[in-house]
């Protein structure tokens, strides 16, 4: 898409995954209602990882998502585990207002058993952590993907 924009999410497309710049894999989802949706998300992530090459850096924005069904959560754990070998670092941004979903994702990340995966509720803190391994063009893209920097307190 022009300017590296993501394809829009539609009623049938509730997620995006792409590599627009360097090693940065951008992933976003609003809902994954069924295991089949996790499989489709995994396919999209695989394509993005192939574009990024070895040592991918994942910048995920899951702030719009809500609680996952148990079977979907289990499938998502497997997706995260399969992705472990492709990445150097993975950051997932969660909403400050969806506490139950955030706790669920934190459990999934722990069960994926990769210390290079972290969750955040602050976009600024997430970008600071990612900046340790991103090139300037990748960092600029990550900031754009997350909606830019904010003036949040304590960041």
Task: Determine, yes or no, domain membership for 63.
Answer: yes
The pLDDT tens digits of the residues spanning 75-94 come to 999 999 988 999 999 999 99
Task: Determine, yes or no, domain membership for 151.
Answer: no
Rounded Cα distance between 104 and 93, Å, is 13
Provide the whole-model pTM. 0.87
Task: Determine, yes or no, domain membership for 150.
Answer: no
The pLDDT tens digits of the residues spanning 129-147 come to 999 999 999 999 999 999 9
**Domain coverage including residue 23:** 2-145
Task: Determine, yes or no, domain membership for 152.
Answer: no
Task: Determine, yes or no, domain membership for 117.
Answer: yes
Task: Determine, yes or no, domain membership for 39.
Answer: yes
Task: Determine, yes or no, domain membership for 153.
Answer: no
Task: Determine, yes or no, domain membership for 154.
Answer: no
φ, ψ of residue 150 to 5 degrees: the values are -120, 170
Q: What is the CATH number of the domain that holds 76?
A: 3.30.750.24
How many domains does one find in the chain? 1
């Amino acid at each position: 898409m022009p300017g590296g924009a993501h394809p829009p999410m539609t009623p049938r497309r509730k997620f995006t995954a792409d590599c627009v710049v360097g090693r940065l894999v951008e992933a976003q989802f609003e809902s994954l209602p069924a295991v089949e949706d996790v499989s489709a998300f995994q396919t999209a992530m695989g394509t993005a990882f192939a574009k990024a090459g070895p040592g991918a850096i994942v910048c995920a924005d899951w702030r719009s998502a809500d609680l996952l069904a148990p079977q979907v959560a289990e499938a998502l754990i497997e997706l995260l585990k399969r992705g472990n070998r492709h990445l150097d670092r993975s950051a997932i941004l969660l909403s400050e207002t969806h506490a139950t979903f955030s706790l669920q994702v934190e459990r999934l990340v722990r069960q994926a058993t990769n210390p290079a995966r972290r969750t955040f509720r602050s976009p600024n803190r997430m970008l600071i952590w990612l900046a340790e391994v991103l090139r300037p063009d990748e960092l600029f893209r990550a900031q754009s993907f997350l909606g830019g920097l904010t003036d949040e307190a304590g960041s």
